[in-house]
């Protein structure tokens, strides 16, 4: 938690003012029993109504001032806690976006979502309680003990006995319950993951009539969280009865021994009532301390998870400035590269060597799991290779800044991803200042003009989250258009026409060839017909390149390529 305390320096005023006014409120609260004692001992004893009304007015004034101080503290706590949470959330989200695909795969989407929401909310609550109660609760306990000692030292020994006893009870209960809070955070990750899977895969679940199965799976995970909460509740249920039992016994002792002290003239009746009030204040303050321990325990577990993300550093390091390229060298050079995913002992791609020149069309084909998507993910440095080197225009990709490198690419991922907004907004995602003419041209090349112009608002038509109001083929064509808008030097199509019929796919390839003559196209496909006219065809099998050349040559010399072609033709 101390590592995240650095964000509080931006709220020095609130962190200072809040506890100060809460301290003043506590001081006024400690004065009230003394005023009550004077009302009983002087006003009521002497039947002096004027005195009672005057002292009653003082109590009302103390209460009103305490309310004002509490509101000021609450306002300061709200500003500081919400500002703290906003800054942490912004910085954490920014940091997550600096991580490479490897770190994101390792951390997990569900965990990151839970951290950005639940864990940071827990930290916000801790900051608010830090300002509002961390000063007040201990001061009330200490102040009540001191005030009781001032009233009567002998009778105050009851306070000195009760405070440690209640503290021991709180410590034991917290020691038993704290581990459950840490487990609960992990259980919430599981609930978040199942929820995300169910909502994103709703169509698949309904297609296989698995609603009941998924409901049971969610209920099991949710019940695990509930069971933990119940176990904590059972333990915490002993807190109030145990503490109030001790405190009620202490109040009985005060009344008993206080009565004796009154009889001998060492105490007044009002001072005995003040003792009871101070004991009540201690009881409330100690329960607040127990709740603070729970809140800060949860916050501590959340802080560790937040700091774990902050401490995760991208393995893919970025250069601050781009270097001059060598235009004579091949556009892309793969020098015997090998790569294994983090935690895997086997290479996903191994010993791949290849040169790609400007304007070439490269086809990559192979069976499922052969390493096609992995290979093209290495070019824009989504991952760093383990062996070998990738060069763009003669310079290693590691010497480019991310922006400088990736602005060369137009990438169409295997899974079509669209964002909520208009058609134009989605296409401008790759080029912010794209004109409507550039958008229309990209749409036309991507064979999306026919359906876009039929939409109710044309290029301003709304696209729902993930493009769920479009068909699979429509989504793919829009993602292709989005990549084409920026007029990239290298266009990567990762099996991005799988949802298109053969005629539309053929028109798309012909349009790209005709309108993007200066663009190098790297086309990953399961279809031999999609790559057969490429300048070079790369055949992958189990992460290794088992063939390279043109269609006719490979059909004669590469058994795997011939099997793919024959199976699709038959």
Can you give the pLDDT at residue 325?
61
Distances (CA, A) of 116 to 66, 78, 87, 306, 505: 36, 19, 11, 8, 41
pLDDT tens digits, 518-544: 889 999 988 888 888 889 999 999 889
For residue 87, give both structure tokens: 């800054």
pLDDT of residue 91: 93
The pLDDT of residue 508 = 87
d(CA 260, CA 435): 92
Report yes or no: 409 and 390 within 8 Å, Cβ to Cβ: no
Measure the CA–CA gap between 336 and 352, rounded to whole angstroms: 5
* Over residues 29-42, mean pLDDT: 85
Dihedral angle of Cα 221, 222, 223, 229, to the nearest 10 degrees: 120
How do residues 284-298 score in pLDDT, each as one tens digit?
787 787 778 778 877
Residue 323: predicted pLDDT: 60
Reduce the secondary structure of 73-115 to three states and give it as a string. Answer: HHHHHHHHHHHHHHHHHHHHHHHHCCCCHHHHHHHCHHHHHHH
Looking at the chain, which residues constitute the CATH 1.20.1560.10 domain(s)?
4-311
Query: Which one is the CATH code of 4-311: 3.30.70.1350, 1.10.3720.10, 3.40.50.300, 1.20.1560.10?
Result: 1.20.1560.10
Kindly tell me if the per-residue pLDDT of 570 is higher than 60.
no
Instruction: Lay out the sheet containing 361-366: strands in order across.
Output: 409-412, 490-494, 520-524, 361-366, 536-541, 544-549
- Does residue 75 surpass a pLDDT of 70? yes
C-alpha torsion 548→552→555→558, nearest 10: -30
Question: Closest by alpha carbon to 373, among 484, 486, 522?
Answer: 522
Q: What's 356's DSSP letter? A: E
For 310-356, the pLDDT digits (tens) are 998 887 887 766 566 666 778 899 999 999 988 788 899 999 998 99
d(CA 396, CA 149): 77
Integer CA distances (angstroms), 269 to 54, 275, 276, in order: 20, 10, 11
The torsion angles phi and psi of 526, rounded to 5 degrees, stand at -90, -15
287 contacts 58 by C-beta, under 8 angstroms? no
CATH 3.40.50.300 segments of the chain: 332-569
pLDDT at 466 exceeding the cut of 80: no
Helix axes 157-200, 211-236, angle to 10 degrees: 180
105 pLDDT exceeds 70?
yes
What pTM, to 2 d.p., does this model score?
Answer: 0.75
Per-residue pLDDT at 338: 93
Superfamily of domain 332-569: P-loop containing nucleotide triphosphate hydrolases (3.40.50.300)
The confidence score (pLDDT) of residue 491 equals 92
Task: Give percent above pLDDT 90 in the chain.
Answer: 19
Compute the distance between CA of residue 430 and CA of residue 407 in angstroms, rounded to an integer.
Answer: 9
């Amino acid at each position: 938690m101390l590592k995240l305390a650095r964000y509080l320096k931006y709220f020095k005023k609130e962190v200072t003012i809040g506890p100060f006014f809460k301290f003043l409120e506590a001081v006024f609260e400690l004065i009230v029993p003394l005023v009550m004692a004077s009302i009983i001992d002087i006003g009521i004893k002497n039947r002096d109504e004027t005195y009672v009304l005057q002292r009653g007015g003082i109590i009302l004034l103390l209460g009103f001032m305490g309310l004002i101080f509490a509101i000021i503290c609450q306002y300061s706590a709200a500003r500081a806690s919400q500002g703290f949470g906003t800054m942490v959330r912004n910085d954490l989200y920014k940091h997550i976006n600096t991580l490479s695909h490897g770190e994101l795969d390792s951390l997990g989407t569900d965990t990151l979502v839970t951290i950005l929401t639940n864990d940071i909310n827990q930290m916000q609550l801790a900051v608010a309680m830090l300002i509002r109660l961390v000063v007040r609760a201990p001061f009330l306990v200490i102040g009540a003990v001191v005030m009781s000692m001032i009233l009567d030292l002998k009778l105050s020994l009851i306070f000195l006995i009760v405070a440690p006893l209640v503290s021991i009870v709180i410590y034991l209960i917290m020691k038993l319950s704290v581990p459950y809070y840490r487990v609960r955070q992990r259980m919430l990750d599981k609930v978040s993951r199942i929820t995300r899977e169910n909502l994103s895969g709703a169509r698949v679940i309904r297609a296989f009539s698995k609603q009941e199965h998924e409901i049971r799976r969610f209920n099991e995970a949710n019940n695990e969280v509930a069971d933990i909460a119940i176990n904590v509740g059972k333990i915490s249920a002993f807190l109030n009865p145990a503490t109030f039992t001790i405190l009620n016994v202490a109040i009985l002792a005060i009344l008993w021994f206080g009565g004796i002290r009154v009889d001998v003239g060492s105490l007044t009746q009002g001072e005995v009532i003040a003792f009871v009030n101070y004991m009540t204040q201690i009881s409330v303050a100690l329960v607040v301390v127990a709740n603070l321990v729970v809140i800060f325990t949860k916050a501590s577990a959340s802080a560790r998870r937040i700091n774990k993300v902050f401490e995760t550093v991208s393995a893919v390091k970025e250069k601050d400035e781009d270097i001059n390229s060598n235009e004579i060298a091949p556009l892309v050079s793969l020098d015997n590269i090998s790569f294994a995913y983090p935690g895997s002992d086997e290479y996903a791609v191994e010993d791949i060597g290849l040169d790609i020149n400007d304007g070439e069309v490269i086809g990559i084909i192979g069976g499922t799991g052969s390493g096609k998507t992995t290979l093209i993910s290495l070019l824009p440095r989504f991952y760093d290779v383990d062996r070998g080197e990738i060069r763009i225009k003669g310079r290693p990709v590691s010497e480019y800044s991310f922006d400088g490198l990736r602005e060369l690419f137009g990438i169409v991922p295997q899974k079509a991803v669209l964002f909520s907004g208009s058609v134009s907004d989605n296409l401008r995602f790759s080029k912010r200042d794209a004109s409507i003419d550039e958008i229309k041209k990209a749409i036309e090349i991507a064979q999306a003009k026919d359906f876009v112009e039929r939409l109710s608002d044309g290029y301003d038509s709304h696209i729902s989250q993930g493009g769920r109001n479009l068909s699979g083929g429509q989504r793919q064509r829009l993602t292709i258009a989005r990549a084409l808008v920026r007029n990239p030097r290298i266009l990567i199509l990762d099996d991005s026409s799988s949802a298109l019929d053969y005629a539309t796919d053929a028109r798309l390839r012909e349009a790209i060839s005709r309108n993007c003559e200066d663009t190098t196209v790297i086309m990953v496909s399961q279809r031999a017909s999609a790559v057969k006219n490429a300048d070079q065809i790369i055949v992958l099998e189990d992460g290794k390149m088992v063939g390279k050349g043109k269609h006719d040559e490979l059909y004669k010399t590469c058994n795997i390529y011939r099997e793919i072609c024959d199976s699709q033709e038959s």
